[in-house]
Amino acid sequence: MVGEIIREEFPEWAEQVLPPKEEIPPFVNISLDGTLVTRDLGVAYRSFRECVVDLVRQLREEILREAEASRS
């Protein structure tokens, strides 16, 4: 699932950092229920996709920053 999101959101980068699709093990789905936390504490959860995209964007920026610094 993470690989699919990265391939959709960052296709040019995915080719460089992800193994071929057929080498990725199948996804195991784990469900958690945050209904009580949402109701009682007002927590608003972000989607899994949003979390993955934000994380990859941050990692990619850091990797590019480090690569640029090593060239200087």
pLDDT tens string 16-55: 888 887 777 777 888 889 899 999 999 999 999 999 999 9
* Main-chain dihedrals φ then ψ at residue 38, nearest 5 degrees: -65, -45
Residue 28 confidence (pLDDT): 80
Among 10, 29, 9, 7, CA closest to 20? 7
Query: Average per-residue pLDDT in the chain?
Result: 89
B/e letters for 32-70, b = 16+ CB within 10 Å, e = fewer, are eeeeeeeeeeeeeeeeeeeebbeebeeeeeeeeeeeeee
Neighbours of 24 (CB within 10 A): 13
* Proportion of the chain above pLDDT 90, given as a percent: 57
